[in-house]
Amino acid sequence: MKTIPTLSVFAVVTALSAAALAHGHGGKMFEKLDTNSDGKVSVAEAQAGAQARFTALDKNKDGVITQAELEGAPHPMMKRADTNNDGKITLAELQAQTLTWFAKFDKNNDKILTKEEIQAQRAEHGRGDCHKS
C-alpha cells in the first residue's frame, strides 16, 4: 500500500478532513491538502488527505481505526465515518465520509474546493454547524 508522508498526528487528525477546514483551520490545512499549490483542493487531494489521516490514526496497522486509537472521549469522527456502526472505521468509510463532506462544500459541483467555497459554507451554516445534515 502506498502511503503519503504523515504530518503530526494531531494535524492529521484534525486537519486533513473537511471538518478541520470548516471549523477554522482552513488556512494552513487547506495548503497542506493543496499538494500541487494551485489554490484549490481536488477530490484526489482530499482523498489523499483521508489516506494520510487513516494511516496516521491506524496505530496498530490492522486496517481499521477504533475509538481506542482516537484516544480520549468519544470522537465525533466515529459517529460520522463509522457508517455500519461496528465501532471501527475502515479506509473505505473514511474516504466515503470525505466524499460526502467534499460534496457539501462543492456547491458548484466542479470537483474542486476553493477557500471561498469553504468560507461560504461556514458563513451559511455557522462555524459549529458544518456537520449537520
Q: Which residue has the cell 466515529?
A: 78
Contact 9, 116 (CB under 8 A): no
CATH fold of the domain at 9-125: Recoverin; domain 1 (1.10.238)
- pLDDT of residue 38 exceeding 80: yes
Candidate from 5-19, 21-35, 90-104, 118-132 with smallest mean pLDDT: 5-19
> Which is more confident, 102 or 19?
102
For 113, which DSSP code? Answer: E
- pLDDT tens digits, 46-102: 999 999 999 999 999 999 999 999 887 788 889 899 999 999 999 999 999 999 989
Q: Would you state the pLDDT for residue 92?
A: 96
Which strand (E) or helix (H) includes residue 90?
strand 88-90
Phi, psi of 64 (to 5 degrees): -140, 155
- pLDDT of residue 117 exceeding 60: yes
Q: Would you state the pLDDT for residue 64?
A: 97
Distances (CA, A) of 5 to 51, 54, 77, 84, 132: 10, 12, 22, 29, 31
User: Strand 112-113 to strand 64-66: parallel, antiparallel, or no bridges (unpaired)?
Assistant: unpaired
Domain ranges of the chain: 9-125
